[in-house]
């Protein structure tokens, strides 16, 4: 293999560099970075490149790391290239941030390269990842469990603004909005790089830590890949081809995801990322998975990838979970289903109170037939929504229904219920559940069940059960089966349901007060004509 020609073709075909670019080259002193610097130096005049060497001492290998630092400094001087060298105590930083040394080193290294690029006015950072690194990366992602984003491995060119990095405790490296990370050696195998170094009398430094199989990548490199090669000698090439195919597919999904994101995400802030539940559920499965991964990566920048099993479970909860359902994810994340939202946020945050008409006080609230019943503000949910920037309290309309029986019988809205007016009666109130409460849920053949058991079977979130209002009949409502007419939002009682003999219908409907005019309590409310939807 002619390594220089491969690098030249990669630069041209993938548009890795433009004529006249200033390029910061990450040089560790190993064979890959040395080969990278040498090939770029040979192409420097042809492409009118300005090269700047950057080396970071991670303080992980004592005297050997110091010797690497000296080696790179002398090499840059010998080749007439400007050089920036800095030192970071990665082990101490990892300990303080409770992260792995490998992951911390990666973040620190890229922030260092960005800082150098900003200082020297470079729009491109070049690193020495090669074909074997790509094979190892894809295999590592497969072993951890991944989606298409992990199968694509490393890209020849990446916008640095898209890379998730954490604060390393040092001054901000500066803007990376128009900066690219390129990998010109990504099509070159390790053995060809080593041969190139021998052919050009390059004397790379040897990093003994690359032999330490306690590190995941080293185990994959020295133990797993050699074993897989006994099954298929071309396993590395196959993994690289998998990355190429996945990268093209991922590019298409990413463009679709950008469009879906703008249509489904309704809030993105420090407390989490919130989707419109209906819009999210209408997405194809691939975009549902991709959107949850994207939300996790945006909210937890340290995440490299999510296990497929976690994503699969989260998607199932998002699609099938009732209000209050939750899917626990790694890295302290939880996905919560709301009445009309899907939210990804911190697992440690208090359980969210959905925007429901909840009743948090004990006393009964009389219901006005033919009018509107406002929940006392002190009794309403702690999570008050806003409409048009104003506080939105809940109000229940109770009006005669003049519409078709079929519309009443096929009601899709959980906050609306239709009753036989004669069976319901006129003495109505809202109250919280009491010990011993029972009713006959519609559709259960007149069988009586306790309200408590009904809520458990209906999977009403435990922390919300005490606040679910009950519409009761009779003076202030007792605890007998005949008293409960509606477990609001869930089920009406069989005894007040509409039948073939029903002559008059009452519709109870909950709405937000700011979406309608405040009622005039001084005049009689008009009856519903059935034309209102």
Residue-wise pLDDT for 355-380, tens only, equals: 788 887 767 888 888 888 888 766 66
Higher-scoring residue by pLDDT: 101, 507 = 507
Confidence of residue 187 (pLDDT cuts 50, 70, 90): very high
Residue-wise pLDDT for 65-77, tens only, equals: 999 999 999 999 9
CB 107 within 8 A of CB 76: no
Q: What 3-state class would DSSP assign to 263?
A: helix
- The answer on pLDDT for 486 being more than 90 is yes
Return the ∠ at Cα 313 (arms to 309 and 315), rounded to 5°: 115
Q: CB-based contacts of 198: which residues, under 8 Å, 6+ apart? A: none
Q: CB-based contacts of 252: which residues, under 8 Å, 6+ apart? A: none
d(CA 488, CA 472): 10
Residue range 3-231 forms a domain whose CATH class is alpha beta
Q: Which neighbouring-strand residues pair with 429? A: 366, 472
Which residue, chain included where needed, has tokens 């802030």? 269
Strand order in the sheet with 428-431: 365-366, 428-431, 470-473, 484-487, 491-492
- The answer on pLDDT for 38 being more than 90 is yes
CB 244 within 8 A of CB 74: no
- The answer on pLDDT for 524 being more than 80 is no
Instruction: Please give the biggest Cα pair distance in the chain.
Output: 100
Confidence of residue 134 (pLDDT cuts 50, 70, 90): very high
Spatial CA neighbour of 205 closest among 73, 109, 306, 82:
73
CA atoms within 13 A on the CB side of 156: 20
Helix residue spans in 51-122 (DSSP H): 63-78, 90-97, 101-120
pLDDT for the residue 176? 67
Q: CB-based contacts of 161: which residues, under 8 Å, 6+ apart? A: 176, 177, 178, 179
Helices 235-264/285-299 angle, 10° precision: 90
Average pLDDT over residues 481-500: 86
Phi, psi of 264 (to 5 degrees): -110, -25
pLDDT for the residue 382? 45
pLDDT for the residue 410? 83
pLDDT for the residue 279? 95
Q: What is the DSSP letter of 446?
A: T
**CATH for 263-346 (3.40.1380.10, 3.30.465.60, 2.60.40.1930, 3.40.50.620):** 3.30.465.60
Helices 131-144/190-199 angle, 10° precision: 160
Return the ∠ at Cα 77 (arms to 71 and 81), rounded to 5°: 115
Break the chain into its structural domains and give their ranges. 3-231, 263-346, 365-515
Q: Which neighbouring-strand residues pair with 392? A: 385
Higher-scoring residue by pLDDT: 306, 488 = 488
Phi, psi of 503 (to 5 degrees): -105, -35
Residue-wise pLDDT for 190-201, tens only, equals: 999 999 999 999
Number of Cβ within 10 Å of residue 370's Cβ equals: 15
CB 331 within 8 A of CB 296: yes
Confidence of residue 526 (pLDDT cuts 50, 70, 90): very low
Residue-wise pLDDT for 143-175, tens only, equals: 987 778 889 999 999 988 766 665 555 556 666
Find the Cα–Cα–Cα–Cα dihedral 376, 381, 384, 385, rounded to 10°. Answer: -100
Strand order in the sheet with 371-374: 371-374, 394-401, 505-512, 416-420
pLDDT for the residue 530? 39
Q: Work out the mean pLDDT of the chain and round it to a whole number.
A: 85
Number of Cβ within 10 Å of residue 272's Cβ equals: 19
d(CA 328, CA 282): 22
d(CA 36, CA 109): 17
pLDDT for the residue 476? 46
Residue-wise pLDDT for 284-329, tens only, equals: 999 999 999 999 988 887 676 677 888 999 999 999 988 778 899 9
Average pLDDT over residues 78-82: 96
- The answer on pLDDT for 392 being more than 60 is no
Cα-Cα-Cα-Cα dihedral sign, residues 261, 267, 269, 271: negative
Domains 3-231 and 263-346 equal at CATH topology level: no
Residue 248, judged by CB atoms within 10 A of its CB (0-12, 13-18, 19+), counts as exposed
Q: Which two tokens stand for residue 16?
A: 């890795």
Average pLDDT over residues 415-442: 89
Residue-wise pLDDT for 336-346, tens only, equals: 987 678 999 88
Q: Which two tokens stand for residue 380?
A: 């309403």
Q: What percent of the chain has pLDDT over 90?
A: 51
- The answer on pLDDT for 238 being more than 90 is yes
Which residue, chain included where needed, has tokens 């390393």? 168
pLDDT for the residue 475? 56
Q: CB-based contacts of 37: which residues, under 8 Å, 6+ apart? A: 25, 27, 51, 53, 75, 79, 81
Confidence of residue 523 (pLDDT cuts 50, 70, 90): very low
């Amino acid at each position: 293999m002619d390594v220089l020609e491969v690098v030249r073709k990669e630069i041209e075909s993938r548009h890795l560099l433009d004529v006249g670019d200033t390029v910061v080259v990450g040089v560790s002193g190993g064979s890959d970075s040395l080969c990278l610097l040498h090939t770029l130096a040979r192409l420097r005049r042809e492409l009118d490149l300005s090269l700047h060497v950057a080396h970071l001492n991670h303080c992980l290998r004592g005297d050997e790391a110091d010797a690497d630092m000296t080696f790179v400094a002398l090499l840059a001087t010998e080749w007439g290239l400007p050089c920036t060298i800095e030192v970071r105590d990665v082990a101490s930083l990892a300990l303080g941030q409770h992260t792995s040394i490998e992951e911390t080193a990666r973040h620190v290294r890229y922030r260092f390269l960005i800082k150098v690029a900003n200082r020297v006015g470079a729009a491109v950072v070049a690193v020495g990842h090669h074909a074997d690194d790509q094979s190892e990366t894809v295999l590592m992602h497969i072993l951890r469990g991944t989606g298409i984003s992990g199968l694509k491995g490393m890209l020849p060119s990446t916008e640095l603004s898209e890379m998730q990095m954490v604060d390393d405790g040092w001054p901000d490296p500066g803007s990376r909005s128009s900066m690219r990370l390129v990998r010109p050696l990504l099509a070159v195998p390790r053995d060809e790089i080593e041969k190139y170094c021998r052919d050009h009398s390059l004397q790379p430094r040897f990093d003994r830590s690359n032999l330490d199989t306690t590190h995941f990548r080293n185990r994959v490199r020295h133990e797993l890949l050699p074993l897989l090669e006994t099954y298929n000698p071309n396993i590395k090439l196959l993994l690289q081809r998998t990355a190429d195919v996945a990268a093209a597919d991922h590019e298409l999904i990413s463009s679709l995801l950008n469009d879906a994101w703008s249509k489904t995400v309704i809030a993105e802030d420090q407390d989490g990322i919130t989707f419109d539940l209906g819009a999210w559920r209408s997405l194809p499965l691939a975009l549902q998975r991709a959107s949850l991964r994207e939300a996790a990566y945006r909210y937890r920048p340290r995440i490299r990838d999510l296990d497929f099993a976690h994503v699969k479970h989260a998607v199932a909860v998002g699609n099938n979970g009732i209000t209050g359902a939750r899917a626990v994810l790694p890295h302290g994340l939880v996905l919560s289903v709301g009445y009309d939202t899907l939210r990804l946020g911190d697992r440690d945050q208090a359980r969210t109170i959905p925007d429901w008409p909840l009743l948090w006080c004990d006393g009964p609230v009389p219901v006005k037939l033919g009018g509107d019943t406002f929940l006392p503000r002190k009794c309403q949910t702690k999570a008050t929504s806003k409409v048009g920037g104003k506080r939105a309290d809940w109000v229940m309309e109770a009006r005669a229904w003049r519409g078709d029986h079929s519309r009443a019988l096929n009601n899709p809205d959980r906050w609306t219920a239709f009753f036989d007016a004669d069976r319901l009666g006129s003495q109505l109130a809202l109250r919280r559940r009491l010990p011993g409460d029972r009713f006959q849920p519609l559709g259960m053949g007149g069988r009586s069940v306790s309200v408590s058991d009904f809520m458990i079977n209906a999977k009403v979130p435990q922390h919300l059960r005490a606040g679910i209002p009950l519409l009761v009949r009779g003076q202030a409502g007792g605890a007998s089966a005949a008293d409960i007419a509606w477990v609001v939002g869930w089920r009406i009682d069989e005894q007040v349901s509409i039948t073939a003999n029903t002559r008059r219908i009452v519709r109870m409907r909950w709405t937000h007060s700011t979406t309608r005019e405040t009622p005039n309590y001084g005049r009689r409310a008009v009856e519903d004509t059935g034309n209102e939807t």
